[in-house]
Amino acid sequence: MQQVLLPNNVNRFEVIHPIYDEPEIKCDPTGLGAMEMSKSVKVSLLVLRVYLFAMGLMLAYHLLDLAGAFGHRSA
C-alpha cells in the first residue's frame, strides 16, 4: 500500500494488486543452517509423527479388510 499526500494535506492510500507490484527480493536460505527447536516443538512433532503413522496403519488395515485379506466378514 502506498501513501500519497495530496495538495491539501489529505492522506490517501492507493492499493496495488500484488500482480502489478514490484517483486520483492527473496532471502537466500542456503547459509542459514539448522533451525533451533524448543523442547515443546520437538515433542509436538514427535506426537504428530506417531499420530500420522497410526492413521497410516489404520488405513492399511481398513484397505486390507475391504480387500478380504482377513477372511470372511460377517455383516
Domain assignment of residue 57, given as a range: 38-69
Tell whether 5 is covered by a domain: no
Beta strands in 1-75, from DSSP E residues, in sequence order: 2-5, 11-14
pLDDT in tens, 8-47: 666 777 888 888 888 888 888 888 888 899 999 999 999 9
Whether 2 is covered by a domain: the verdict is no
Task: Domain count for the chain, please give it.
Answer: 1
pLDDT at 3 over 60: no
The residues near 14 (Cβ < 8 Å, ≥ 6 apart) are 1, 2, 4
**Residue 7: pLDDT above 70?**
no
Cβ atoms 11, 5 nearer than 8 A: yes
More confident of the two residues 18 and 50: 50
In angstroms, what CA-CA distances link 22 with 5, 28, 35, 44?
A: 21, 19, 30, 38
Residue 62 lies in a domain: yes
Q: What is the mean pLDDT of residues 44-66?
A: 96
